[in-house]
A and B are shown apart, each in its own frame.
Chain A
Amino acid sequence: MGAYVLRRLWQMIPTLAGVMLLIFVLFNWVGGDPSLVLAGKITNKEQIENIKKQLGVDQPAYVQLGYFAFEVATGFTCTWKSFTDNPDPPKTDPKVDPKTDAKTDTKTDATKATAQPKSGCQAVRSWATNEEVPKILTTRIVPTLTIMIPVLILETFLGVILAIGVAYVRGSLTDRMIMMVCTVAMSVSFLVYIIVAQYIFGFQLGWFPVQGWSDSFWKNITYYAPLPIMLAVFVGLAPALRLYRSFFLDEINNDYVRTARAKGVSEKTVMLKHVLRNAMIPILTNIGIALPGIFVGSFLLETFFSIPGLGREILVAVNRSDFPVIKAATVYLAMVTMIINLLVDVLYKAVDPRVTFK
């Protein structure tokens, strides 16, 4: 298995290079000119040129691609070699003007504590806010996971339980009713659920806040997160239920199930031991496909409930043409997807001993 994992890890490098190339091409040729967005209401050519120079977008494409690769590999960017590169004001003591008595001592403790190294390289920063991009990703992922991990757990747990139940009573009125409800539920936009739920549960009934987030995990999980989680689970449950039901039905109709029943094995054992275990492979595949999504969060949920998560951050970055943030989030998602795919493949072995790594 070790060789298999190492081989898969090795294969990630060309895959990631392909993703980076795609991102680079998309942003450079289709993404518009960020310097115009950053230049403000009244622009002039000199300012536009200066911004382009600072962002490095005036460099030849191959140079920009090289810098992009360096940024992805290290999380750092190196300043462009021009006088515009020095964002720090001089840290020497300004001369004292006896007339104006305006000496400003810039060599303070705080300066020593926070001033940037003069090596010319620093963490990749947002073009719009100057915030360090790695910091953006690491701080925004926490609210996203606070919402999305419970959603995934609840959705999977409820989906599997309900699916095995309705699969067991397939063709019955209960089965048909639940499938009909699922179809109707899937036909309505997530946005509608959010708007209606905010109005009813947040405003009319006052059970939940309509927006907000705090620094306390427990307050978030018990006060701000329940409504978004419930909505996401409700919306995600219908398609999951239908899909998992079909997996269970596939298994229920197999010969080994008939054999087990003929041998007198109880229905509970048949369903929970034999059918469930065999249906777990496609279920696991489905979870694996959905898993990277939890690291990005739901754009709609985070925007409507003012949750400072990664999804909302990406949305704001797109609106501001903040390419470093968008690029970083895209590369990050690609990496997460590859790693999760690998983990899911390894998990197959744990679920089904017949699986072998080649």
Chain B
Amino acid sequence: MNLNIPTLNCAKRAIAALALILASIFLVSLAQAGELKTLKIAFRNAETGFDPQRIEDRYSVGISENFFETLITYDWLARPAKLVPLAAEKVPEGEEGGTRFTFRIKPGILFADDPAFNGKKRELVARDMEYAIKRFRDPANRSPYAWLFIDRIVGFDEYVEAAKKANKYDYEKSIPGVQVLDKYTISFKLKQADYNFLYFFAMPIVVPVAREIIAAYASDTMAHPVGTGPYILKEWTRRSKIVLERNTNYRGHQLDPQYAKPNDPFDQAAIKALAGKTLPLIDRIEISPIEEEQPRFLAFVNLEHDYIEETPPNFVSQLLPLGKPSPVMLKRHLLVQQTDEPEITWDAFNMEDKIVGGYKPENVAFRRALVLAHDRGSEVNIIRKGQAVATKSAIPPGVVGYDPNFYAVDQDYDLSRAKALLDTYGYVDKDGDGWRDMPDGSPLILTFKYRAEVEGRQIAELWVKSMTAIGIRMQTTAVQFADLLRDRKIGKFQMSNLAWTADYPDGQNFLQLLYGPNVDESNDARFKLPEYDRLYSQALKLPDSPERNKIYRDMNRLIVAYAPWRLGVNRTFSHFINPWVLGYKKHPILYTAFKYLDIDTAAQQAAQQK
């Protein structure tokens, strides 16, 4: 058969060959595009970077979860959160009375490839963890989580002091309390028993890092996250687009269904989608930070994104009017998961303030009257639009130590009791101007300091309204975030609204907010009660147990009794998921963990083509 090919001249043959190559590339790319599983989502805020020891915001940390691996982590399905091994072979038991914790890293775990490794495969070793721990206290890193390792590990504080004196932070020098026992084993010796120390190693910022990477990209470590996790950073247009792709060196992960609840549809759907498969299943993840609520919501309903987490309360009612699925939701087969995050809000009284502070019976009675007069129901229903529940204790649900039976009637809204308490202790109108005065006859004017933003203003206005109802004058002051932080830290406020999200799911992470020695650090109310501090120290030395839970209960009672806080709310978040996203379940501590997701690409494409 003569194809006449010899008759084609050279140029024509070249063009034909080129066309053939281009067509092949086009077909191959089409085929690949069809198979590539891409997840697109938005974050509520912009990230700062991905150097685990230098970041704090949950969005940067949430993305870093996918680049790096902690030694231990939380089981994906277990509620309340349960520690399980990840890079370590097992979750260590506290030794030597809870003062020593030893981790053995699984051999054979590889970092993602990077030019800094000179073309060689780089295995994760114990020294990487040691190096990461040292980085937390390196002043050059300004680590926001340096507090995790202050006054905790034997010899670490002395190591830092010596570095200061020598004017050099010496990574070669060893720390007595951080012992690398062999290639894969690292042991930590603590100054005193602390069973919550274990939780630190499940925090996505306490992860081993390769020293070569930090050295190679010292000028911008934020942009070069190289870890052992399931994904790598493929593209990063700062504060605009973050693209993750699979780490080809990742060893794979299996979903462990042992803690799944048989009656939880999300657990069962996750098992159906993921069980028995080698994770991750998604090839590419594209994240867009969108600060404004409307475009973030519209991008989701416009099918530009695959799911939306922490949906703004203003928009939840569009998909769930009166708590029922809207026609759009039913038509689109959207799933919704509503979760109570491990966080609390509260209004702090400055315990060193002359009017609202103090520990005498009249001081305590006054604060309790203010608490009783504050209309928290309006905060839940109006300010939070029903997307919150009133906090019952300083420990939120889903956190170890939470007691569902603990209920503080003294934090309920009760105007009559509030007025009676004020009358009893002499906070009455003495000059006939219609407003209550101090017992000594001096004017009683409260001040509430808040962050200059809509929610802060609404909360302040509610306080003014509540105080007016019991005849107390209140002034409010709006300040910028940095100023509010400063004023709280130095005690330059009378009352202010605060919030805390769990770093790890143990009540201690919340109760430390009122621990006396933490004044100037995290105890913004400047609460100093010897009995509370004694209980706190006692609880630290105990593992999770009924004995420790009893101590937590007693501490909660003291909080309610002395009222350094007006307990606020636990916010409820709604997460809407398109039906082609498989395995979705919101974790209370981990922020993303994309490895536990899959995508039905056929359903995704069909929906987007409609």
Which residues of A come within 8 Å of B, CB atoms?
31-34, 36-45, 47, 50-51, 53-54, 82-91, 94-95, 97, 99-102, 104-106, 108-111, 113-116, 122, 128-131, 136, 195, 198-199, 202-203, 206, 209-213, 215, 303-306, 308, 312-313, 316, 319-321
Pair A41/B291 contact, Cβ less than 8 Å:
no
Encoded as 1 (CB less than 8 Å from any A CB) or 0, chain B from 248 to 284 comes to 0000000000000000000000000000000000000
Q: How far is the CB of A231 from chain B (nearest CB, A)?
A: 13
Distance in angstroms from B556 CB to nearest chain A CB is: 21
Q: Are B215 and A106 in contact (CB under 8 A)?
A: yes
Could you list 11 further interchain pairs (A-B, Cβ under 8 angstroms) beyond the known A44-B521, A84-B139, A104-B211?
Answer: A36-B482, A39-B142, A43-B489, A106-B212, A129-B222, A131-B222, A136-B238, A198-B298, A203-B301, A211-B299, A316-B239
Question: Within 8 Å CB of B239, what residues of A?
Answer: 308, 312-313, 316
Q: Which residues of B, 143-164, contact A by the 8 Å Cβ criterion? A: 143-147, 150, 163-164
Question: Once the chains are docked, how many angstroms separate the CA of A3 from the CA of B363?
Answer: 75
- Beta-carbon nearest neighbor of B219 in chain A: A116
By a beta-carbon cutoff of 8 Å, the part of chain B in contact with chain A is 42, 46, 48-49, 54, 56, 114-118, 125-128, 131, 138-147, 150, 163-164, 166-172, 180-183, 210-212, 214-223, 237-241, 288-292, 294-296, 298-299, 301-302, 304, 480-483, 485-486, 489, 500, 503, 518, 520-522
Point out the residues of chain B lying under 8 angstroms from A199, CB to CB. 294, 298
Smallest CB gap from A54: residue in B: B142
B486 near A88 with CB under 8 A, answer no
Q: How far is the CA of A42 from the CA of B510 in the complex (A)?
A: 12
Q: Is the interface of A mostly helix, strand, loop or mixed?
A: loop
B295:A215 contact, CB within 8 angstroms: no
Inter-chain contacts of A82 with B (CB < 8 A): 167
Q: Is the pair B144, A39 in contact by a Cβ cutoff of 8 Å?
A: yes
Residues in B neighbouring A36, C-beta threshold 8 A: 482, 485-486, 489
Specify the chain B residue showing the minimal Cβ separation from A112: B216
Which of the residues A89, A102, A321 comes within 8 Å of B180, measured between beta carbons? A102
Q: Which of B131, B180, B289, B521 has the most CB of A within 10 A?
A: B521
A33–B486 CB distance below 8 A = yes
Task: Assess whether B212 is in contact with A105, with CB atoms less than 8 Å apart.
Answer: yes
Q: Which residues of B contact A206 (CB under 8 A)?
A: 302
Q: How far is the CA of A282 from the CA of B419 in the complex (A)?
A: 67
> Which residues on B sit within 8 Å (CB–CB) of A113?
216
| CA–CA, A36 and B294, complex, Å | 31
Contact in complex: A87, B140 (CB < 8 Å): yes
Tell me, in angstroms, the Cα distance from A320 to B180 when the chains sit together: 38
Residues of A within 8 A of B172 (CB): 90, 94-95
Q: Given A313-B239, A321-B481: A89 and B219 within 8 A (CB)?
A: no
A122 neighbours in B (Cβ, 8 Å): 219
Q: Is the CB of B139 within 8 A of A41?
A: no
Task: Closest B residue to A31 by CB, please name it.
Answer: B482
Alpha-carbon gap, A113 to B180, bound state (A): 31
Given known contacts A89-B214, A104-B210, is B139 in contact with A54 (CB within 8 Å)? yes
Complex: A130 Cα to B480 Cα, angstroms: 23
**Beta-carbon nearest neighbor of B483 in chain A:** A32
Interface contact A202-B302, CB-CB below 8 Å: yes
Some 22 contacts from A to B, beta carbons below 8 A apart, are A36-B486, A44-B147, A47-B147, A84-B140, A90-B172, A95-B172, A97-B180, A99-B182, A101-B125, A102-B127, A110-B114, A111-B216, A122-B219, A128-B48, A129-B222, A130-B221, A195-B294, A198-B295, A209-B304, A212-B304, A303-B291, A304-B292
Chain A residue nearest to B218 (CB atoms) is A88
In the bound complex, CA of A122 to CA of B522 (Å): 34
Q: What is the chain A residue whose CB lies nearest that of B115?
A: A110
Contact between A100 and B183 (Cβ–Cβ < 8 Å)?
A: yes
Q: What residues of A have a CB within 8 angstroms of the CB of B215 in the complex?
A: 88-89, 91, 106, 108, 111, 115
Of chain B, the residue at the smallest CB distance from A99 is B182
- Bound-state CA distance A356–B4 (Å) is 77
A34 proximity list for chain B (CB < 8 A): 482
Question: With A83-B164, A102-B183 as given contacts, are A43 and B521 in contact (CB-CB < 8 Å)?
Answer: yes
The answer to whether B118 and A108 have CB atoms under 8 Å apart is yes
Nearest first, the 10 A-B pairs at minimum CB distance are A40-B144, A32-B482, A102-B127, A308-B240, A83-B167, A110-B216, A106-B215, A88-B218, A84-B139, A110-B116
* Cβ-defined contact, B489 with A108, below 8 A: no
Looking at the complex, which one of A41, A97, A111 makes contact with B56 (CB distance below 8 Å)? A41
The residue in chain B whose Cβ has the minimal distance to the Cβ of A195 is B294
A47-B214 in contact (CB<8A): no
A115 to B216, CA, bound (A): 6
Q: A40-B147, A210-B304, A213-B240 are in contact. Are A110 and B217 (CB under 8 A)?
A: yes
Give the distance in Å from the alpha carbon of A211 to the alpha carbon of B219 in the complex.
32
From B520, which residue of chain A is reached at the shortest CB distance?
Answer: A45
Cα-based distance from A128 to B482 in the complex (angstroms): 13
CB <8 Å contact, B486 and A32: yes
| Bound form: Cα–Cα A130–B143 in Å | 13
